[in-house]
Structure 1
């Protein structure tokens, strides 16, 4: 970009005064900024909402055997409860960009946190499995909204701190993933209501997140990707595509091999995550470990992506491509699955650590959604596509894994998981390629 202040260019202008120099601005340069107090509130909101995107899932898995004493659950319930989170995330991911365009990202996230709170609270009062699943689905819809909306909110409010705030987002999401299974069983043993009391803790934290985003909505109003979004003078309004994203952004995504590869990489990362969220504790319990120990193992598995997620987004922003790291993670996943398949109780901690390293492709893939899109509008469209279609792909994981275990034991289920790792390794090169979509 030519700058008239540069000496060389100034000399040319003196010799040729008829030359006209046009200043090119960044897509973000003409966007107004919010007051510092609003930015602080949004940062608190990102932390609060990000934490509550997973406890309703990972905090339940170690309690399933306790829950079975009060609520009649069987193999169908286990398959559905494992498939429900990614299925809800996928469906919501497809429609959320349209809601963002119509109502604004802040308003949509406030509603999403409200759904998490309502579903998490009301399901505790239900004595039957079916209504419990339905209310869980309501909470998961709210979590799915947060999955899609938080990345573009980071891009909107902190356009020059995307890598740092992506790190914060990924870190609190992973903390909300690993901490609940660590404390789920101990909380159930000391709180009134047993497993219901344990799950009530996460209903309270989601209520706090709702309060923060209501305050953000009152202070910040709409958002720059919503109907209140200001446009630079002379900038035409974008026509909307069926997903709610600007037609140009959505068209580029559908035509981009990198976007499709990133979707598959993210989807298969979640494919493994939700298999392990559902079956990792159960497989260890069936192999002879105690429920408490199995819950601790799941917590350890989830804490590893949290620790790595503290540095992965910033590191990925500084290198040309993280494809080699993805391949290393895939190798760890293969080793962990093989260990759980052939000798689960021989070294449960080792298999857990290997799998925790392996599923760390997920925080890396989340960071790439922001790093491979140039504008908040592009980020919203890419986030909706990657997480919507990706979670629909991931929804098949727990169901197929459980079906194959019931059908033919461990071999078919673990072969399915190992095949998914191979596909991850293949698409990683295109997904991690440098540049913007």
Structure 2
């Protein structure tokens, strides 16, 4: 096989893998009400299913680099696609909520491994096209985030909620086939790049850095709200009288906005001395969106959704700040692991707390009080997180 065909094959593999890292999360939320009509879903189930994605993404950030050091990136990516395919495919056909959760763990762990493995693969096989291929990688990941909720309910209308979930297992199976071929071909990388193991003196230094903690907290609270909205936005809208298809469309919209802004924010942040004013604007947008969704949800649901989408767009900005504020390549790897690993673990508490408060009180004010409080905390810690200079 010629080098040009090998590069095309690797590009195809990265595209398919990146797309499959989110549909199992955002493609489920609009279907929870329909699923609950057939399978009894307890408050505990709803809390756990929302908590699992950030929890497992965070854990994967710490364990995958150690697996990468022992196994090849090609093999790990294939394993990740197999885990996603089996987890998503089998959970769609079972009737036990607890087995559904166990299979979700398998699928989400595969997605978390994919999150960590793809960037070093891009650097290994496209060292001269890192920026371009990183854009492809992130773009397909975001595309796989907002398309599933948009089509989940229409697919369920034609094939049932199980059929709707199986569609994403089918896409993951395409990923398995692509990476089996790549694994057989075993293309030689243009440059050997490993996933950095986060630890040692660099991690100890970050643990003593208030600015590193501030950046991790800012990132974690952004994801805290991301995963609450991923899990609960469709249900909150249906509780207000909208149909499930509208709830799915609004979830697609709230995930699409960070994708669009993600193309602008890195350049903007690089030109600004401090990105704090951007974060302030995002915090205000998020707070107003939450207040509208809580107090007058039927008045302007599209506007509230747009404001929420703008508000959670701090995440691509935070990823840019990791690169801008790191001292060197080793520092960037350690800071990325610390910020994303710790941030995802913090984010895992969001859906759990929100679900508990929604289910435990007749009023929704305690749940919205928590998310609004998280916005206030993010407002204050972001000043240190955005301050210029190396961390």
Q: SS where residue 21 of structure 2 aligns? A: coil
1:219 is matched with which residue: 186, 191, 194?
186
- 1:147-176 residue CA offsets vs partner (Å, 9 max, x unmatched): 223334344444555444443333222211
1:72 match: secondary structure: coil
TM normalised by structure 2 equals: 0.89
Match of 2:101 among 130, 133, 140: 133
Residues 134-213 of structure 1 correspond to what in structure 2 (within 5 A)? 134-159=102-127, 161-191=129-159, 194-213=160-179
Counterparts of 1:61 and 1:300, CA distance in 2: 14
- What is the aligned counterpart of 1:351 among 304, 316, 319? 304
Aligned to 1:275: 228
- Counterparts of 1:162 and 1:436, CA distance in 2: 23
Q: Does 1:80 align with 2:48?
A: yes
Residue of structure 2 equivalent to 1:19: none
Deviations 1:285-322 (A, max 9, x none): 11111111111111111111122123333443454443
d(CA) in 2 for partners of 1:38, 1:363: 30
Residue 182 of structure 1, CA deviation: 0.6
**What is the CA-CA distance between 1:37 and the residue it aligns to?**
4.8
- The offset of 1:345, in angstroms, is 1.1
CA shift, 1:75, in A, is: 1.5
Q: Is the 8 A contact 2:21 2:144 kept in 1?
A: yes
| Paired position in structure 1 for 2:37 | 69
- Write out aligned runs for 1:13-92 (5 A): 37-92=5-60
Q: Are the equivalent residues in 2 in contact too, given 1:116–1:139 (CA < 8 A)?
A: yes
Residue 162 to residue 226, structure 1, CA distance change in 2 (3 Å): closer
2:258 maps to 1:305 = yes
**2:123 & 2:217 partners in 1: Cα distance?**
23
Q: Distance in 1 between matches of 2:329 and 2:358?
A: 43
1:96-131 deviation per Cα after TM superposition (whole angstroms, max 9, x unaligned): 222222224443333222211121112122121110
* Higher helix fraction (1 or 2): 2
3-state SS of 1:346 partner = coil
Partner of 2:81: 113
Q: Distance in 2 between matches of 1:203 and 1:311?
A: 32
Residues 1:395 and 2:348 aligned together = yes
Q: Indicate the RMSD between aligned Cα atoms, in angstroms.
A: 2.7
TM-score by length of 1: 0.80
Q: How far is the alpha carbon of 1:44 from its aligned partner?
A: 3.0
Q: Which runs of 5+ in 1 are unaligned?
A: 1-34, 228-242
Distance in 1 of aligned mates of 2:74 and 2:207: 26
The verdict on how the C-alpha distance between 1:425 and 1:101 changes in structure 2, with shifts beyond 3 A counting, is farther
Q: Is 273-282 or 416-425 further displaced after alignment?
A: 416-425
Query: Could you tell which deviates more after superposition, 147-156 or 62-71?
Result: 147-156
Partner SS state of residue 348, structure 2? helix
Counterparts in 2 of 1:161 and 1:379: CA distance versus 1, 3 Å: farther
CA–CA distance in structure 2, aligned partners of residues 106 and 256 of structure 1: 35
- Aligned residue-pair number: 387
Q: What's the counterpart of residue 294 of structure 1?
A: 247
Matches of 1:330 and 1:105 in 2, distance apart?
38
**From 258, 266, 281, the counterpart of 1:328:** 281
Report the structure number with the largest CA radius of gyration. 1
